[in-house]
């Protein structure tokens, strides 16, 4: 039986499973092999907004596909373009929740920063998403659909790289993220190389273990923000649940080089002592360090580290033998810095009550 709108959609399934479902259905209708092979590419590879747009198929079959295998959509609410070329997309989900994606062009590379949850339960003190609280987990389609919609609108926008650095903590939504990773990477999905897909986490240990168990070499970024536990905990409440030592232990299971994300906040994590602790940790883990200027939108009560101090901090890391990159703050004028999405569109309803999510 076809999947109905109330249950999981065909776009929530890993490509191999979707192929089997569609093929079985089509074979049951007595369709010839060549016809059956025409269906699957329309899910991800050459997506259509609705089956009726797949004009290589007979009209009657298209109508039937639209009835029995409806293709869900994300509704584009607004698109904003920053003066630096960064574009922010606000999507409305079926139940009215809204999420954002940010497309960051850089040379030949187009990195799309995607959301994995509506809101976030973890309340990091510098983060706009954290301030809005947790709303709900996204489904696999709602995650990968952020890319599908871009491609539908303009195939030239297909991202070369995908980072889970939008709204939410991906490793607290592992069942959906696990399928989403497969769709992103599979040759009969979006076909994006695993090394071009980065999962960013504050360090949810069970989720890290699950990710490390995948055969593909997805990249891992750990949102570190402080290498000294007593400085990290006040910034990131999750450190109480999964202390840094346990997070680093879990990170050892990754064969690929990991990245530490480090938002520089004046007086909170930007001293020489902080830099030296970071050097020791990055050296021990062989990690790259991404330094991010604090985006003021997420934290009105915190001050960004001034630019000269950012440079000094980065220089100190480099003299300590650490590969450190200072990320440009992109899309500042449209509040679109990755991981730094504004909350005003979501303020129509209070956060979901605690207990709706598992830590
Ligand atoms: N929850 C995951 C992924 C989403 S947040 C995580 O925290 O890793 C993605 C990135 O955006 C994180 O590295 C986070 O620290 C960063 N970020 C959040 N708020 C920010 C702010 N105000 N300024 C700059 N970067 C911010
Ligand atoms: Fe959640 Fe990441 Fe924001 Fe922390 S930084 S509140 S984990 S989205």
- 88-126: pLDDT as tens digits: 999 999 999 999 999 999 899 999 999 999 999 999 999
Residues forming a β-bridge with 119: 134
Catalytic annotation present for 120: no
C-alpha distances (whole Å) from 42 to each of 48, 93, 148, 182, 342 are 6, 21, 11, 17, 33
* CB of residue 129 inside a 6 A radius of ligand 2: yes
Taking the centre of ligand 1 as the mean of its atom positions, its distance from the CA of residue 191, in whole angstroms, is: 26
CB 19 within 8 A of CB 40: yes
Output the pLDDT for position 208: 98
Output the pLDDT for position 351: 37
DSSP 2-30: PPPTTS--GGGS-HHHHHHHHHHHHHHTT
Task: Name the CA radius of gyration of the chain, rounded.
Answer: 21
CA neighbor of 219 nearest in space, from 288, 150, 144: 288
Output the pLDDT for position 332: 60
Annotated catalytic residue within 97, 100, 169, 357:
100
Output the pLDDT for position 349: 36
CB 92 within 8 A of CB 98: yes
pLDDT tens digits for range 45-88: 999 999 999 999 999 999 999 999 999 999 999 999 988 889 99
* CB of residue 126 inside a 6 A radius of ligand 1: yes
Annotated catalytic residue within 113, 120, 127, 338:
338
- Cite the DSSP H helix spans in the chain: 15-28, 33-39, 59-68, 128-132, 140-153, 174-185, 205-212, 229-232, 238-241, 244-251, 272-285, 307-319
* CB of residue 159 inside a 6 A radius of ligand 2: no
Pick out the chain residues at pLDDT < 50. Answer: 1, 3-6, 341-359
Between CA 146 and CA 79 the distance in angstroms is 13
Atom of ligand 1 nearest to the CA of 164: 3
Output the pLDDT for position 255: 85
Output the pLDDT for position 353: 34
Residue percentage of the chain with pLDDT more than 90: 83
pTM of the prediction? 0.92
* CB of residue 172 inside a 6 A radius of ligand 2: no
Q: Which ligand is nearest to the CA of 118?
A: 2
* CB of residue 295 inside a 6 A radius of ligand 1: yes
Output the pLDDT for position 297: 76
Q: How many residues are given for the chain?
A: 359
Taking the centre of ligand 1 as the mean of its atom positions, its distance from the CA of residue 159, in whole angstroms, is: 20
Catalytic annotation present for 344: no
* Probe residue for ligand 1, chosen from 201, 340, 342 as the CB with the greatest number of ligand atoms within 8 Å: 340
């Amino acid at each position: 039986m076809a999947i109905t709108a109330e249950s999981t959609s065909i776009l929530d399934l890993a490509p191999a499973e979707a192929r089997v479902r569609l093929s079985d259905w089509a074979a049951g209708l007595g369709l010839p092999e060549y016809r059956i092979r025409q269906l699957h590419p329309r899910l991800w590879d050459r997506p259509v907004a609705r089956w009726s747009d797949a004009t290589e198929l007979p009209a009657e079959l298209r109508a039937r596909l639209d009835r029995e295998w409806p293709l869900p959509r994300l509704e584009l609410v607004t698109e904003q373009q920053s003066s630096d070329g960064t574009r922010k997309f606000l999507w409305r989900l079926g139940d009215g929740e809204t999420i954002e994606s940010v497309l960051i062009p850089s040379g030949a590379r187009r990195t799309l920063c995607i959301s994995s949850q509506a809101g976030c339960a973890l309340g990091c003190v510098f983060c706009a998403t954290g301030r809005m609280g947790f709303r709900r987990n996204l489904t696999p389609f709602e995650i990968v659909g952020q890319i599908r919609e871009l491609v539908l609108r303009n195939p030239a926008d297909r991202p070369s790289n995908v980072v889970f650095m939008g709204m939410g903590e991906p490793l607290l939504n592992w069942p959906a993220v696990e399928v989403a990773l497969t769709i992103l990477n599979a040759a009969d999905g979006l076909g994006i190389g695993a090394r071009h897909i980065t999962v960013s986490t504050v360090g949810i240990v069970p989720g890290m273990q699950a990710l490390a168990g995948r055969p593909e070499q997805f990249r891992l970024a750990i949102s570190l923000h402080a290498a000294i536990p007593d400085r990290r905990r006040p910034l990131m409440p999750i450190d109480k649940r999964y202390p840094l030592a346990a997070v680093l232990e879990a990170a050892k299971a990754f064969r690929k080089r990991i990245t530490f994300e480090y938002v520089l906040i004046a007086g909170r994590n930007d001293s020489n002592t902080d830099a030296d602790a970071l050097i020791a940790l990055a050296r021990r883990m062989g990690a790259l360090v991404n330094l991010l200027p604090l985006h003021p939108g997420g934290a009105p009560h915190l001050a960004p580290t001034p630019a000269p101090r950012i440079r000094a901090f980065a220089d100190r890391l480099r003299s300590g033998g650490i590969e450190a990159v200072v990320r440009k703050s992109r899309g500042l004028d449209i509040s679109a810095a990755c991981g730094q999405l504004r909350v005003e569109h979501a303020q129509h309803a209070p956060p979901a009550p605690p207990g709706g999510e598992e830590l």
